[in-house]
Each structure stands twice: as structure tokens, then as C-alpha cells.
Amino acid sequence: MSNTNKEVLLSVKHVDIAFNNEGKKFRAVKDANFDIYKGETFALVGESGSGKTTIGRAILRINECDKGEIVFKGKRISGKISKEEDTNVIRSIQMIFQDPAASLNERATIEYCISEGLYNFHLYKDEADRITKVDQALTSVGLLPEHKSRYPHEFSGGQRQRVGIARAMIMEPELIVADEPISALDVSIRAQVLNLMNKFKEEKGLTYLFIAHDLSVVRFIADRIAVIHHGRIVEIAESEELFRYPLHPYTISLLSAVPMPDPQIEKKKELVVYDELKRDLSGPKPVLQEIRPGHFIFANDREMAEYEAKLQVMEKEHEALGE
């Protein structure tokens, strides 16, 4: 399946992000390269500190790119841009945060929290119009208009996260960067928030960049998945492809960490621990290469041959199973 006929909404091109730490440069993201198509959910998966949030924040212009550029709807949005374009980017790209308790202003009412973006760009005709918009936003995430005068600390975690979603949705964005939106939530309400996000995706044709550390969640929400390790994207593929034919040892290790709700399987399961130092990294410098249409892997030519052989074996196995 090729992606050439789809419209690219955002592309990250050879982006390097470094932090200065007392004169020493720490490269948090190394040569990140991917496209996000309009209307899809693109997941970025990796362990803590792998740079996934950093990429998300670079898209929102909070972190600066050292090298490379980020292009949104054909226009460069990284580096210095005009004020007008900045306003445009803010309105079109919104963020949902990880910790709903920390990401709401505790000293402001829900009404202010949700209207903040409206106030900033004066996106309402009059006071009555603003109230209507806030009411609609609250209702669309399953909250009540009477919650307007309440403060964030009066809400449960799930309700707060929905306030955060309403705050982003009121700006009518095209792309939402969701930075681990459910990892701080109670297991019982995770599905509620994911369903809400899917509802908006269908209704408004939203595009998501879904940042997560947990592959099991991502499988249900993402169309395509990028696996990132130590600031380096090691594998990109469509969700089903990645789960069926994981190639990079780090992807395999991440997949093995997903718990299965079956004690028999869990008992026999062998955890694969990924250790870069034990790998054979000889040969020329690896790059991100396309092994199957839409399936990219970070490898050099020698590794590429190994992956190819492995992939063919896996494909044969699947065929034998009648898939």
C-alpha cells in the first residue's frame, strides 16, 4: 500500500534537537524524518527520555530545531517565522498534555481555561457568542455547561483531561499533538478519553500525533507507528504491519514488554531486553531505509540483508497460517 496519494499535513525533515548543558551539547533528537498524512493518527513510541516529547514540542514551536526543518501544509514552521504565521500555527496545531492536573491553571475557572485561546485571538463575536462556544466545547467532551464556574481541583482526573481536550478543540485545530494523553489516567477512564479522541477525528477530520510509551494502547488508535530509541527513529510502519512483522530488535523488545491478559502466555513469555552495546554495529553508517512500501527501518546494507531474510521467513509463516 503506498502513501503517495495521501496529502502530507506535516513533515519533519532531518530534524536535530540539542540541549545545551553547561557547554556540552546533548542531542535529544537525531535526524528525525517522517511525514504525517492528513486524517491519520501517527504514533511516536519509545521509552522515557527517548526524545518523543521533544519532537512533539518542536512541532509546537516550544523547542527549537538545531538542524533540519518542520513543514506544515507546505510552509516551514521551524525557526524564525512571521507573527501572522505564528498565529496560524498556534491555531492549527494544538496539544493535549500528559498530566491533566498540572496542565490546567488551578487559580482560574474552567470558563477561563477553555476561553483562553478565544481571548488571545479574539475568536468570538461578543460575550454571548463566547459563552455559547464554551458551552458547546464542554458538552462535546461530555461535561456540563454548569461546570464553567468551577475550578480545576474540583474535577476528577478524567474530567480534567476532557477539559484539556475541550480547550484544544475550541481552537478548531487541524493537528493535535497528544503527549501521552492517557498515561496519567485511571485505567477505567482511558478508553473514554481514547473514544473521545476518535470521535473528534471522525467528526472533524483531525490528524493526531500520538506520543506514547506503551505499544498496546497505540495499536488501537494509531494508523502508523514510529518507534524511537535514544533520539533516533528506528522503525516506521503501518500499525498492523509493525505488529505482524517487527524487524528492529528494539521494536521486538518493546513488543515483548506488552502484557497479555493470559497467565499461560505470560508465564512462558521471554522478555527481550534491548542492549545496543551487544549488537553488531559494524559496517557503514546506518540510515532510515524502506524495506517494504511504507515500512522503514534504520539499518545499513549488511543489516538490511539480514532484515530482508528475516522478513521473508515471517511472511512465509503468515502465508502458511493462511492469512
Partner 1 sequence: MNENELFEFADFDETKSEHIAAPRYSYWGSVWKTFFRDRFTVFVSILLLFLICFAMIQPMISGYDPLVAPNVNNPSMRLQAPSAQYIFGTDNVGNSVFDAVWAGTRNSIIVSFVCTFINMVIGIAVGAVWGFSKRLDRIMIEVYNVLSNIPYLLLAMILQYILGAGFKPLIITMCCTDWIFVAYFIRTQVMIIRDREYNLASKCLGTSTGTMITKNILPYLISVIMTYISRTIPSYISAEVFLSYMGLGLGAKNASLGKLISQYTSYMNSYPHMFWIPVFILALISISLYIVGQKLSDAADPRTHM
Q: What nine digits make up the cell of 88?
A: 496560524
Spatial separation of the C-alpha atoms in residues 257 and 273, rounded to whole Å: 9
Site for partner 1 contains 155 (CB under 8 A):
yes
Contact segment (CB under 8 A) with partner 1 among 71-79, 124-132, 140-148, 231-239 equals: 140-148
Nearer to partner 1 (CB atom), residue 30 or residue 213 = 213
Residue 102 CB, shortest distance to partner 1, in Å, is: 4
Q: Mask: binding to partner 1, 67-96, rule CB under 8 A, as x and -? A: --------------------x--xx--xx-
Binding to partner 1 (CB under 8 A): which residues in 162-221?
Answer: 164, 167, 171
Q: Does 151 bind partner 1 (CB under 8 A)?
A: yes
Contact pick of 3, 6, 76, 106 for partner 1 (by CB under 8 A): 106
Binding to partner 1 (CB under 8 A): which residues in 41-70?
60, 62
Report how far apart, in Å, the C-alpha atoms of 9 and of each of 94, 175, 274, 292 are. 14, 8, 33, 23
Give yes or no for residue 117 binding partner 1 (CB under 8 A).
Answer: yes
Quick check: 103 binds partner 1 (CB under 8 A)? yes
Burial of 88: CB neighbours in 10 Å, binned 0-12, 13-18, 19+: middle
Q: Is 159 in the site for partner 1 (CB under 8 A)?
A: yes
Q: Give the interface segment with partner 1, choosing from 21-29, 36-44, 153-161, 214-222 (CB under 8 A).
A: 153-161
- What torsion do the CA atoms of 278, 27, 69, 285 make, to the nearest 10 degrees? -30
Q: How many CB atoms lie within 10 A of CB 197?
A: 21
Instruction: Name the segment binding partner 1 (CB under 8 A); options: 20-28, 146-154, 220-228, 295-303.
Output: 146-154
End-to-end CA distance of the chain: 17
Under 8 Å between Cβ of 6 and 176: no
Task: Please state, in angstroms and rounded to a whole number, the distance separating the CA atoms of residues 242 and 235.
Answer: 9
Contact region for partner 1 (CB under 8 A) — 32-40, 44-52, 108-116, 206-214? Answer: 108-116
CA angle 194, 247, 266 (to 5 degrees): 60
The amino acid present at 74, given as its one-letter code, is G
User: Binding segment for partner 1 among 66-74, 107-115, 214-222, 299-307 (CB under 8 A)?
Assistant: 107-115
Interface pick for partner 1 out of 144, 191, 281, 309 (rule CB under 8 A): 144
| Closest listed residue to residue 178, CA positions, set 187, 170, 169, 186 | 169
Q: What residues contact 22, with CB distance under 8 A and at least 6 apart?
A: none
| Using rule CB under 8 A, residue 234 touches partner 1 | no
Site residues for partner 1 per CB under 8 A: 60, 62, 87, 90-91, 94-95, 97-99, 102-108, 112, 116-117, 119-121, 142-144, 146-147, 149-151, 153-155, 159, 164, 167, 171
